[in-house]
Amino acid sequence: MTEAVLETRGLVRRFGALTATDGVSITLRPGEIHAVIGPNGAGKSTLIAQICGTLAPDAGSVWLAGCDVTAQTAPARARAGLARTFQVSRLALEDSVLENVLLGAVGAAGAARHPFRPVLRNRALRARAEAALVRVGLEAQAASRAADLSHGQRRLLEVAVALTLSPRAFVMDEPMAGLGTEGSAMLTGLLDGLRAEAPILLVEHDMDAVFALADRISVLVYGKVIASGTVAEIRADRAVGEAYLGDAS
């Protein structure tokens, strides 16, 4: 089997008496979109935080491109090519669209402590940022303030910021949240094409997007993966239907 780009092995995280992730083992293979779905409180955000390095697991490990990164900080994992987009946008809204992407490029170059101004004149970083904007279709908005973008465009901008890392893998936390039909369609199209560049671990409540995009789906309930399979397999799984999908199945 092809080696996983990203893998969790037996991740456990407890909050007092509650076990938020209870031995979660999942893989993300080259070229795929692997969706993680589950009801509220299932442990999806806890899982993402452990994968990205903002929350330490009580047990288990995280592997990126064959390396155990469990002890690495979140910035170190980002520099190693783990690109995360957030449930709550972390864009600098008063800065321009290009400046936001440049900030990402600066972080990717490991130059976060350098003064920002000279970065604007750094041709290599600027080229990387502009290429990312073209990739998400926001090149015409480069000089606009991020605050003036629509909600959907901000999500595209977040993907552009993530792209400057030249990521090995994307981890996306509910990218469709709050988007209307048009925004969802735009982002779905973008993610569909992105998987060829780097596989995507997609935590998403929007089942239309999940069913349209996912090569595999894992279903998390009370911190455990209760099923994992293709869209057809998950739709046909009675236990999943009862635990989660309801009418969506």
Ligand X SMILES: Nc1ncnc2c1ncn2[C@@H]1O[C@H](COP(=O)(O)OP(=O)(O)OP(=O)(O)O)[C@@H](O)[C@H]1O
Question: Least distance (Å) from ligand X to the CB of residue 126?
Answer: 36
> By C-beta, is 1 or 15 nearer to ligand X?
15
Question: Least distance (Å) from ligand X to the CB of residue 218?
Answer: 12
| Near ligand X in 4-43, by CB under 6 A | 15, 18, 20, 38, 40-43
Interaction of residue 175 with ligand X, rule CB under 6 A: no
> Strands 200-203 and 169-173, how do they pair?
parallel
Question: Least distance (Å) from ligand X to the CB of residue 195?
Answer: 23
Interaction of residue 218 with ligand X, rule CB under 6 A: no
Q: Report the 10 Å Cβ neighbour count for 3.
A: 11
Q: What are the Cα distances from residue 158, in Å, to 39, 92, 145, 147, 182?
A: 25, 11, 14, 13, 17
The single-letter DSSP state of residue 126 is H
Question: Least distance (Å) from ligand X to the CB of residue 39?
Answer: 7
**Diameter of the chain measured on Cα atoms:** 58
Residue 21, both tokens = 């992730």
Contact (CB, 8 A) for 195 and 33 = yes
Binding mask 75-94 for ligand X (x = CB under 6 A): --------------------
Footprint of ligand X (CB under 6 A): 15, 18, 20, 38, 40-46
